Structure formats: C-alpha cells, structure tokens
Structure 1
Amino acid sequence: MTSHTGVPADQEKADLRRYLQAAREAVLWKLEGLSEYDVRRPLTPTGTNLLGLVKHLAGVELGYFGETFGRPPEDPPPWLSDLSDPNQDMWAGLDETRDSVIALYHRAWAHTDATVAALPLDATGRVPWWPEDRAEVSLHRVLVHVIADSQRHAGQADILREQLDGAVGMRKGNDNMPPGDTDWWRDYRARLEATAQRAADRKH
C-alpha cells in the first residue's frame, strides 16, 4: 500500500516513528546525571522544568494516541483528566518519583506504538479538546503534531540542561555541536556579545 506521498505506507510510518523516537530519547537524555533537585526545579519564570516536560509528553502521547482514536490507555494517571490544576502535567509532585515519571513515559511510548501499528495512517479520530471545526483528524496528522510538539520540548530541555551544568547536544552519541573546548566556546560567546553590542550601538 502506498500513501498519498507516493512513499509506501509502512516506510512512511517508520519514518514518522523514527523522528518521534529521536525526540523521546533526547528528552530523557537531558535528565541523566542530574540531582533530584535539578530535574524538578523551575528554570524559567513560567516554571518550566525537565521532569515536568517528561510528564507532560507522557500525557500528550496517552491523550493523542488514546482517547483520540478510541483506544484509552489502561490505568491512566488521574491528572490526565483532572482539570482542576491547569498545569498539573507540567511538574512532578512529591508522590511522583523520577523513575515513576520515566516509566509512565515508556508506557505512553508503548501505547502510541501499538496504536500506530494497529491503524492505517488515514484512520480518523477526534481530538475532543480541539475546536470542533478541526477536531476530526487522521493518524498521520496526529503523528506529525506530536512529533512537532515533542521536538519543541526537546529543544526546551536542551536549553534548560545547558543552564544547569553546561551540558549540550542533540542526542546521546551525536551531540551535533561543532568541536571546541571551554576556551573556544568562551571566545565564541564573547564574539557574539560584541557583535550584538555593536549592532545595538549602530541603532543610536
């Protein structure tokens, strides 16, 4: 079977899953080697934190590949449907360990992967939290949406981790960064700062 793009449907699914998996692994990698405090502490004025991003993404996958396609997960976390705290999915409470949040994310992966395997890319579902005029979606569209969301949060996690201890990189085994030691990066940053200052001065 060939998709509307001319690519065999199985190959298109595999491509989409590969990009989703890359984002998943990148987000989890950003937690490695950090203290309990550092994975939880808010690092932006809006409270963004690393473990919260993992918890949020678990909920994203459970929702978009669960309720949307009539495949609700077994034993979903209560906060998934509890709207009393609008940001409850963005941070982990004291009763939620790092291991339990990561395990939930892994369960969400398995649920997503099962849905993707079971349905064709043109299978239709309904996103109940989207406006009615665009609530009906295909599996293909949901995959693209969740990949985009996951990669966005992976980028946030990258910046948060750099703020914590200077660690950077796209994924384990391939940081996708130019070579350079501490001195090189200090000089590079100083060059950017000087350029920014000159650009600002030129406006006056």
Structure 2
Amino acid sequence: MTDPDAKDALRRYLDQGRQALLWKLEGLGEYDARRPLTPTGTNLLGVVKHVASVEAGYFGVTFGRPFPEPLPWIEDDAEPNADMWATADESKDDIEALYRRVWRHSDATIDALPLDAVGHVPWWGPGNEVTLHRILVHMTAETHRHAGHADIVRELIDKSAGVRPDGSNLPSDDPQWWDRYHARETAEAERFRTP
C-alpha cells in the first residue's frame, strides 16, 4: 500500500467527486443554492457544507492534523443537522471557500502520509483504527454519494444534469427527447399502479 500510483489514483477519484460537487453550485444564486428540495431538507449548499465538515474530520483529527478553523456546526452541542444547511451568515461564496480550504488541508495530509499511515476515527468508537488508504476510499465514496445527491437537487432546480461540465454522460441534450423519455417512463410505471 505504498505504491505512489495507487495514491494518485485514489486522489484522482476523490478530486473528481469534489469537482462535481462544486460544479453543481455553478451559476446559482443564494436562493437556489440553499433552498431545500426534499422532505428531509436536502439542499446544495448544505451538501457542500456537510462534505467539507466530514472531510475536515477524516483527513484532520483522524491523523492528528486537525483542520485549523472552528466548525461549530459539527460540535457535540450543535443543533441536529446544523452541517446540512447554510445560515444567513454563511454565503454561497463562504461555503465554497471553506470547502476549498478543507480540500487543500486534506491534500496536505494525503501528501504527507503514506497509504499505510495509521489514524483513529474518534467518532467510530471501538475498532476505530484506520489507514490513510481506508480513509481515502471512504471519503471518495462519501463525496461521490453526495455529488449524486447534488446532481438530483440541481436537476430539480433548473434541469441541469450530468457527470461533469466538460462531458455529459447523458444520451441527449434535446429537451423534447427528455419530455418523450419521461412520458414513456411514466406510462410504464402507471401500468403497475395499484388502485
């Protein structure tokens, strides 16, 4: 687990998730970036704030390299879900800048340590010993999971969708094609509706 190519590959996948997450905020104003679009309040700015907070912990405290800024919304006495939405005092620019600072801090940890470096995740309780390799895999999965959430929320805002700005993984850009596709899916689902 000391192969530099392995570390580079893991970092590349993590970076792709990070970039996708921030891309979902591009071009949005404060209202659209923060408005909740699911019954549980999922919103783009909250997703980015959450991922920044989680990443700060996993690549910080876990390896004895705490992120140097206070993150009061993740303290034990914080309001539940305080990391999942932005307060009036936290602008879109503030949250994006925080994420970029966390990203740099995490990359410094990744650069400084070998993949087999041992850390401890205090919030995991017993059995909390991990390696940098495991945390890279964990944070890559976590980041991509939340980038998927962000993709759906962004689509609900303005129908923007896709894996990245320089290349979509979708079959068509034609809105009429998507209307027909959606209608066909709806018709198929209706066949299974129970009275």
Q: TM-score, normalised by structure 1?
A: 0.91
SS at match of 2:122: coil
Aligned partners of 2:12, 2:77: CA distance in 1, in Å? 32
Unaligned segments of structure 2, at least 5 residues: none
Q: What value does the CA root-mean-square deviation take over the aligned residues?
A: 1.5
> Residues 134-153 of structure 1: matches in 2 within 5 Å?
135-153=128-146
Q: Relative contact order (C-alpha < 8 Å, sep 6+): which is higher?
A: 2
**Aligned residue identity for 1:118:** A
Show the counterpart of 2:169.
176
Q: Could you tell me which residue of structure 2 aligns to residue 47 of structure 1?
A: 41
Matched with 1:78 is 72
- Taking only the aligned residue pairs, the percentage that are identical comes to 57
Q: Give the alignment partner of residue 118 of structure 1, picking from 108, 112, 119.
A: 112
User: Which residue type is aligned with residue 32 of structure 2?
Assistant: D
Q: Partners of 1:59 and 1:87 in 2: how far apart? A: 12
Code of the aligned partner of 2:29: S
Structure 1 CA distance for aligned equivalents of residues 173 and 26 of structure 2 = 22
Provide the secondary structure at the position in 2 that maps to 1:59.
Answer: helix
Larger radius of gyration: 1
Residue in 1 that maps onto 2:24: 30
Question: Which of 163, 167, 172 pairs up with 2:156?
Answer: 163
Distance in 1 between the 2:72 and 2:185 partners?
47
Contact 2:110 2:132 in 1 (8 A): yes
1:84 Cα deviation from its structure 2 partner: 2.6
- Quick check: 97-106 or 177-186, which moved more? 177-186
The number of equivalent residue pairs is: 195
Matches within 5 A, 1:1-20: 3=1, 9-20=3-14
Query: Counterparts of 1:186 and 1:116 in 2: how far apart (Å)?
Result: 45
Deviation at 1:99, TM superposition (A): 0.9
TM-score when normalising by structure 2 = 0.95
Q: Give CA-to-partner distance per residue, 1:59-113, whole Å, 9 cap, x none.
A: 1111000000000122233323253312111111111111111111001111110
